[in-house]
């Protein structure tokens, strides 16, 4: 099966269009459909001195065809206002969201087998008066998913999160038995179905320094985390922990687990991004569709300069194709 992958270039003033054009220059074992304004890509290609053929397709369907380097199929969504590289415009905030909604619809309808997203600028979307906390939350709403899990992955490490974009002061109250159970179930299931791991091994971090030091540095481990892990182990899950976060990222742990499960955003992601920035992939687990993304922001200062690095988008596309091939639901 040749998968059809929906690409959303994200914030039009950022490097999303640049890196989308960059990956279109190489062969892929998939059909690529960019969901955006075709004129935006043409204008950015002119700025970058790229010779690329833009083929507008109104309704991608039928048997996918392998991507042809130097060309790109585009499902057209019109910008609300002219775009200048590097200059944010709140007028285009709703355009960005429209491209995401269209990609989700295409995946839910089976016209595309996965979606890959370039970075968006959360601030300008909120400045436009549209409440927006991130791709992860929007995708959960669009797909009617009660719970999703953010996971970042490199070739050597996967880090999933119990909580995502929460202020640090709100994290302890959010760490409940229900949340831990649901997020670990999602992580376990998707590691099996989408990554082909029959018996995933998950290392779980504690919330507090030294994983609570036996209750002397916090009681969440004793009251909530340990009892929840014990119940999940009784159901057959292979779980280590809770482990102290400051010593968990070492070969003795990483060589014997398939994923690290962190309690909050900045507990696990700084380590992963230090180890693999520019080559890491953001994966949303728990969705009825496959979605991967880059691990970086819009880099407005690099837009249109030819200096943007497409490595993370390339890795996100490679992972999406691999996940499609591992997931029996998308191969049907």
Going by the annotation, the residues of the binding site are 135-136, 165, 210, 265, 273, 282, 291
User: Binding site for substrate, residues?
Assistant: 135-136, 273, 282, 291
Going by C-alpha positions, the residue among 129, 112, 159, 179 that lies closest to residue 275 is 159
Task: Give the span between the Cα atoms of 261 and 184, in whole angstroms.
Answer: 8
- The phi and psi torsions of 308 (rounded to 5 degrees) equal -70, 140
Task: Give the span between the Cα atoms of 180 and 262, in whole angstroms.
Answer: 11
Residue with token string 């994983």: 211
User: Binding site for a divalent metal cation, residues?
Assistant: 165, 210, 265
Contact present, 188 and 237 (Cβ < 8 Å): yes
Please state whether beta strands 158-161 and 149-153 pair in parallel, antiparallel, or not at all (unpaired). antiparallel
Going by C-alpha positions, the residue among 218, 242, 220 that lies closest to residue 230 is 242
Q: Which two tokens stand for residue 11?
A: 């914030």
Task: Give the span between the Cα atoms of 132 and 56, in whole angstroms.
Answer: 29
Task: Give the span between the Cα atoms of 164 and 161, in whole angstroms.
Answer: 6
- Report the b/e string of 3-29 with b at 16+ CB within 10 A: bbbbbbbbbbbbbbbbbbbbbbeeebe
């Amino acid at each position: 099966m040749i998968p059809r992958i929906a690409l959303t270039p994200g914030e039009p003033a950022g490097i999303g269009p640049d890196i989308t054009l960059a990956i279109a220059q190489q062969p892929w074992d998939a059909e690529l459909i960019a969901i955006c304004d075709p004129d935006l890509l043409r204008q950015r290609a002119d700025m970058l001195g790229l010779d690329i053929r833009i083929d507008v397709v109104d309704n991608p369907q039928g048997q996918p065809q392998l991507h042809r380097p130097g060309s790109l199929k585009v499902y057209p969504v019109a910008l609300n206002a002219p775009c200048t590289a590097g200059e944010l415009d709140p007028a285009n905030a709703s355009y960005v969201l429209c491209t995401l909604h269209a990609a989700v619809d295409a995946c839910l309808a089976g016209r595309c087998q996965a979606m890959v997203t370039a970075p968006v600028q959360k601030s300008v979307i909120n400045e436009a008066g549209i409440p927006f906390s991130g791709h992860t939350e929007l995708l959960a709403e669009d797909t009617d998913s009660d719970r999703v899990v953010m996971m970042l992955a490199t070739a050597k490490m996967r880090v999933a999160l119990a909580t995502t974009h929460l202020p640090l002061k709100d994290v302890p109250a959010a760490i409940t038995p229900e949340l831990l159970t649901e997020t670990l179930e999602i992580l376990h299931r998707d590691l099996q179905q989408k990554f082909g791991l029959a018996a995933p091994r998950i290392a779980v971090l504690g919330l507090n320094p030294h994983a609570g030091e036996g209750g002397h540095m916090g009681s969440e481990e004793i009251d909530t985390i340990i009892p929840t892990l014990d119940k999940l182990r009784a159901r057959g899950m292979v779980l280590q922990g809770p482990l102290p976060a400051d010593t968990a990222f070492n070969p003795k742990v990483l060589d014997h687990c398939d994923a690290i499960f962190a309690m909050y955003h900045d507990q696990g992601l700084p380590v992963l991004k230090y180890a693999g920035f520019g080559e890491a992939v953001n994966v949303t687990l728990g969705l009825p569709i496959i979605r991967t993304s880059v691990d970086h922001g819009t880099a407005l200062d690099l837009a249109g300069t030819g200096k943007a690095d497409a490595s993370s988008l390339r890795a996100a596309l490679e992972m999406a194709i691999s996940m499609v091939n591992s997931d029996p639901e998308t191969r049907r």
